[in-house]
Structure 1
Amino acid sequence: MGSKPGWIDPAKSPIVFVHGYNNSASVWWEGNDMYETALANGYQTAFIDLHSDLDMWTNGELLAQKLKVIYDYFGKKKLVVVGYSKGGVDTQTALVHYGAHEYVSNVITLSTPHRGTQLSDLAHSSTAWWLAALLGNNNDATRSLQTGYMAYFRSITDQHQNTKMNRYYTLGGTKWGSFGSSLYWGGLYLSSYGANDGVVTVSSSRVPGGTIIREGSWNHTMIREGSHTFSLFKPYTMTAQPLSLAYSISSSEMVEEPNTNQIVKGGKADIAIRDSFLIEDEVQGFKLAFLSERLLPSLKLKGPDGKVYSAIKSEQDQGEFFEGAWSHQFEIDMPAAGKWTLTGPGAAYLYSVAIDSPLGAEVMKSKQTKSVKASYRTEWVQYRLDSKKKLHAAGKGSKAGLVSDGDFNEAGIYSLSTEISGLDAKGKPFERTVIESIYVDQDGKIHR
């Protein structure tokens, strides 16, 4: 429990703060003025520690028990819960699926991945799992935040009778920092999916049936800081609610299909890294983020014209799903077309290349218009759900060509990595990567 304010205002609900993935209750006061701000504004507060690496089912059950204790402690006064990142998913699970809705009036979520995050899809893909596992980020929490599984979660949550027992308010961020900053590469990767804060897209920060308070220029760290957001959500912590609401979110809102403008590769090199990718004609530039479990000062990028580049900046990532990885960043303007090669000492690695090219839209259209000649190969990693709703790796598979719904009959999550290669309209070679996840439920229905 937080310290008692000098005077307890009956119009102010006690606030319960719930942390996110890979952090603890201290995230609200260490390097953060949220607790200090709430106390200065006269609020009773409580801070909960959940399992940082477990899924919403384990945490939701535990949180439901703790909310009852806190509710009783504050004299059975309805609580307001502020959930940061995954903490918002844990909170909704507690209220809807474990019956804790009766202890709470409002829920405020700060950049919560209500529809999952594509960074979780990436971390569990065949391309990136080596690195994610080495960093300790291949666990129940990250597995449960894959977009396919969260689509399933939404299907069993949004229509649940308990969902309407509480009011939900959301804040989302659109800032992921400048080139070389600690959240930059995550934001760069997610930019194909829309505005984001370096970890979660704005569209995913919206919960169906909820109300948007504000979507502003915060990154995933700033949005949890009191000086940035407390004043915005403060009106929704009062026992008397504001009369006007900004924007209610429909359950029918869909996330747009991403632009196909990225190449993603990775693996584990025991002795030396040597990997390559293709850049087509008419590319205005590309930005490359190379992640590894350690700093690689000798990492080099060589173009088809023989020019050799070193990383402009190297920074340890702070973006949750690859936290602790070293991100080596390159930015190339007007690159030569052809084969680009990365070399360095042995390590587990992952790299993404964001390409500024008109071809991205053409690749998306190619299924219908045949404006480019492309071939596809898809690899997947399957995760099965046991009787306790725990996800376990259950094997891998691959297919030449595009996959269809009929390829997946067993229940579970499938993390899909599709490699696209071919020739553009001028007959020049190109390549792209699309990473996504789907969930097949017990009835064989596919959620994506």
Structure 2
Amino acid sequence: MRGKVRAVVSVLFAFLLALPVGMMDGLPVEAGEVVQPLGGKGDPCDRTPGTWFVEVPANPDPSKPPLVFVQGLNGCSDSWFGETQYYGANDMAAIARQNGYRTVFVDLHDSGGSAANQWDNGRMLADLLGQIYNRYGQRVNIVAHSKGGIDTQAALIHHGAHPYVGRVITLGSPHHGSHLADLAYSSWAGWLAELLGARSPGTESLQVGNMEQFRAVTDSHTNATRNSYYTTAGTSWGPTFSALWTGGAYLSTHGSNDGLVNVWSASLPYGNHLFTAGLDHDNIRLGREVFHRIEPTLRSTMTASQTATTEVAASAESNPNAGDQLVRGGPLAAGEEEVVTTTVTSGTEEAIFTLMTASENVQVELTSPSGKRYNSQSDVYGRSSETVIFQDATVQAFRIDQPEAGTWTIRFSGESEDAYLLTGTYLAPQSLSLEIENQPEVNHDIPLRLKIADTDLGKAKDLKVDVQVTPPGAKGTVQSAPHRGLLKADANGKALSGKLPRMTKPGVYNLTIDVTGTDAQGQTIERTIIRSVYVGDQDQ
């Protein structure tokens, strides 16, 4: 059946290329630039990587440069005119056309269903930009969403496409990585990530440690300032209980965010920050929301000396290594109940419990210390489907305001073999923060320091720390035994310090750090910090 469909598509494609100017899915296009038909609603991102097409305005304005739109992780050209996750069709393409802009849409490796890292996407994009430049005979401006901003920098800076482009606007791009990508590579997430295929090169590239390395080789590159960069950031988590909302809750311990990217991650040291607004990671690419904000910048390709603005104020936004969370995960046997307990400490203003599974048919119940039960019928419950990092996972969440202090219990079970990832995020005085050297080298000691604030956890007795190290390229669920006894209490008792085992292979390592203690009431307090770190080759 699929072969017949492809044959029909090929015939249609050949017919369309024979037209001088035509209409495709309601969009005017130029002959020769449409290298494949737009997909239908059933599978909008089933595209051929390495292709591009042009959209022609009714009244093109030759004084305005062509615009090239670059999609994000797991996205395709549909991202700019197709259905968004929560807000209907994106009108970015239509609004740009109404303003007289000639618009170009590209399809990179992700369009074919295989999320690629910035190096591979950048190489492909550089080639496409050369073709587009030859078509117009002038430089273009780029509008990039999310990881598309990183792919664009790889194309311009590392693959030499900077002569084809003037200005680049990034919409919610994780220039410094996303802790949600770190979560996908944590030891607790292994089972679910393996089941969903969530550990792709694209996701791996967005780990905080990986992006630290990318920033190091990119921001100091001679090509880094040959184009003008403009950044934007969002602070909304999207609709309550949506996948973006649960992502925003997880990222909240690291500062303001748009549900996928923290504000501090969306800036560049040599970029001009256009705005930080109450937008989420989905609607920050909508034409009706942002085009009027970015259009004055798009009118010219002229590059200029840039000074980074202080609007993002990354250092003031958060401690990127902070955390007051619990993370647990593993296999979920068919028909068997899994039980996880967690202690909510005094002074917690809000607790958000999130359960991700591969199946939609997992039943979950939350019980408070006093015995109050919450389930899928409760008004504090919601569910959604994850579409970016843990693609196709079912997400169930509970949001509890002013939660009781004490032990909370989460019970869940499913009808079939599954896997789960459970997170508890607590809006409370920060308990833990992690200090680790940026980009340590192989075969060298890596100091690690865990600072403990004067909270219930800080006052707990018998603090124990387990450190699980996930090596570069990990794809399966088999992990080494956690390292214990690595960290010892400082003399003042305000921190635990030690050294990680020496790493012998360069690459990104994921650290899953679990801290356990007993409070004055004898209850066990458990918290998790997840952080990736790039270990470089000492000969580089």
TM-score w.r.t. length of structure 1: 0.89
Could you say what secondary structure the match of 2:54 adopts? coil
Deviation readout 1:203-257 (Å, 9 max, x if unpaired): 1111221110011011111011100111111111122769998953699965624
Aligned ranges 1:117-266 → 2 under 5 Å: 117-239=178-300, 248=309, 254=315, 256-266=319-329
Kindly indicate whether residue 529 of structure 2 is the aligned counterpart of residue 434 of structure 1.
Answer: yes
* Paired position in structure 1 for 2:19: none
The verdict on how the C-alpha distance between 1:193 and 1:319 changes in structure 2, with shifts beyond 3 A counting, is: farther
Please report how far the alpha carbon of residue 408 of structure 1 lies from its aligned counterpart in structure 2 after TM superposition.
2.5
* Paired position in structure 1 for 2:367: 302
* Paired position in structure 1 for 2:121: 59
Q: Which residues of structure 1 form unaligned runs of 5+?
A: 385-390
The verdict on how the C-alpha distance between 1:105 and 1:281 changes in structure 2, with shifts beyond 3 A counting, is: closer
Query: Partners in 2 of 1:243 and 1:79 — Cα distance?
Result: 15
Please report how far the alpha carbon of residue 176 of structure 1 lies from its aligned counterpart in structure 2 after TM superposition.
0.4
Query: Structure 2: which amino acid aligns with 1:299?
Result: V
Could you say what secondary structure the match of 1:316 adopts? strand
Q: Is the contact made by 2:323 and 2:431 (CA closer than 8 Å) also made in structure 1?
A: yes
Deviation readout 1:105-153 (Å, 9 max, x if unpaired): 1111011110111110001111112222322321110011111011000
Aligned ranges 1:280-295 → 2 under 5 Å: 280-282=344-346, 283-295=348-360
* Paired position in structure 2 for 1:329: 397
Kindly indicate whether residue 507 of structure 2 is the aligned counterpart of residue 407 of structure 1.
Answer: no
The verdict on how the C-alpha distance between 1:257 and 1:224 changes in structure 2, with shifts beyond 3 A counting, is: closer
The verdict on how the C-alpha distance between 1:4 and 1:137 changes in structure 2, with shifts beyond 3 A counting, is: same
Query: Partners in 1 of 2:520 and 2:257 — Cα distance?
Result: 32
Q: Is the contact made by 1:117 and 1:199 (CA closer than 8 Å) also made in structure 2?
A: yes
Deviation readout 1:265-287 (Å, 9 max, x if unpaired): 11112232413222144144421
* Paired position in structure 2 for 1:381: 470
Query: Partners in 2 of 1:141 and 1:242 — Cα distance?
Result: 30
Query: Partners in 1 of 2:302 and 2:57 — Cα distance?
Result: 22
* Paired position in structure 2 for 1:14: 66
Query: Structure 1: which amino acid aligns with 2:536?
Result: D
The verdict on how the C-alpha distance between 1:425 and 1:365 changes in structure 2, with shifts beyond 3 A counting, is: farther
Please report how far the alpha carbon of residue 392 of structure 1 lies from its aligned counterpart in structure 2 after TM superposition.
7.0
Q: Is the contact made by 2:340 and 2:411 (CA closer than 8 Å) also made in structure 1?
A: yes
Aligned residues: percent identity?
34
The verdict on how the C-alpha distance between 1:339 and 1:191 changes in structure 2, with shifts beyond 3 A counting, is: closer
Q: Bigger CA drift: 101-110 or 357-366?
A: 357-366
Query: Partners in 1 of 2:365 and 2:161 — Cα distance?
Result: 54
Please report how far the alpha carbon of residue 13 of structure 1 lies from its aligned counterpart in structure 2 after TM superposition.
1.1
RMSD (Å), alpha carbons: 2.9
Query: Structure 1: which amino acid aligns with 2:234?
Result: G
Kindly indicate whether residue 92 of structure 2 is the aligned counterpart of residue 34 of structure 1.
Answer: yes
Kindly indicate whether residue 344 of structure 2 is the aligned counterpart of residue 344 of structure 1.
Answer: no
Q: Bigger CA drift: 211-220 or 342-351?
A: 342-351
Q: Is the contact made by 2:79 and 2:90 (CA closer than 8 Å) also made in structure 1?
A: yes
Please report how far the alpha carbon of residue 98 of structure 1 lies from its aligned counterpart in structure 2 after TM superposition.
0.5
* Paired position in structure 2 for 1:71: 133
Q: Is the contact made by 1:285 and 1:335 (CA closer than 8 Å) also made in structure 2?
A: no
Query: Partners in 1 of 2:156 and 2:433 — Cα distance?
Result: 44
Q: Which residues of structure 2 form unaligned runs of 5+?
A: 1-52, 83-88, 435-449, 488-497
Please report how far the alpha carbon of residue 261 of structure 1 lies from its aligned counterpart in structure 2 after TM superposition.
1.4
Higher relative contact order (CA 8 A, sep 6+): 1
Query: Structure 1: which amino acid aligns with 2:468?
Result: E
Kindly indicate whether residue 381 of structure 2 is the aligned counterpart of residue 320 of structure 1.
Answer: no
Identify which of 340, 354, 362 aligns with 1:276: 340
Query: Structure 2: which amino acid aligns with 1:18?
Result: V
Greater Cα radius of gyration, structure 1 or 2: 2
TM-score w.r.t. length of structure 2: 0.75
Query: Structure 2: which amino acid aligns with 1:9?
Result: D
Query: Partners in 2 of 1:396 and 1:157 — Cα distance?
Result: 32
Q: Is the contact made by 1:380 and 1:417 (CA closer than 8 Å) also made in structure 2?
A: yes
Q: How many residues align?
A: 438
* Paired position in structure 2 for 1:416: 511
Query: Partners in 2 of 1:90 and 1:117 — Cα distance?
Result: 15
Q: Is the contact made by 2:96 and 2:103 (CA closer than 8 Å) also made in structure 1?
A: yes
The verdict on how the C-alpha distance between 1:257 and 1:47 changes in structure 2, with shifts beyond 3 A counting, is: closer
Q: Is the contact made by 2:270 and 2:307 (CA closer than 8 Å) also made in structure 1?
A: no
The verdict on how the C-alpha distance between 1:394 and 1:354 changes in structure 2, with shifts beyond 3 A counting, is: closer
Query: Partners in 2 of 1:203 and 1:334 — Cα distance?
Result: 29
Query: Partners in 1 of 2:407 and 2:470 — Cα distance?
Result: 31
Could you say what secondary structure the match of 1:120 adopts? helix
The verdict on how the C-alpha distance between 1:275 and 1:416 changes in structure 2, with shifts beyond 3 A counting, is: farther
The verdict on how the C-alpha distance between 1:267 and 1:393 changes in structure 2, with shifts beyond 3 A counting, is: closer
The verdict on how the C-alpha distance between 1:278 and 1:131 changes in structure 2, with shifts beyond 3 A counting, is: same
Could you say what secondary structure the match of 2:331 adopts? strand
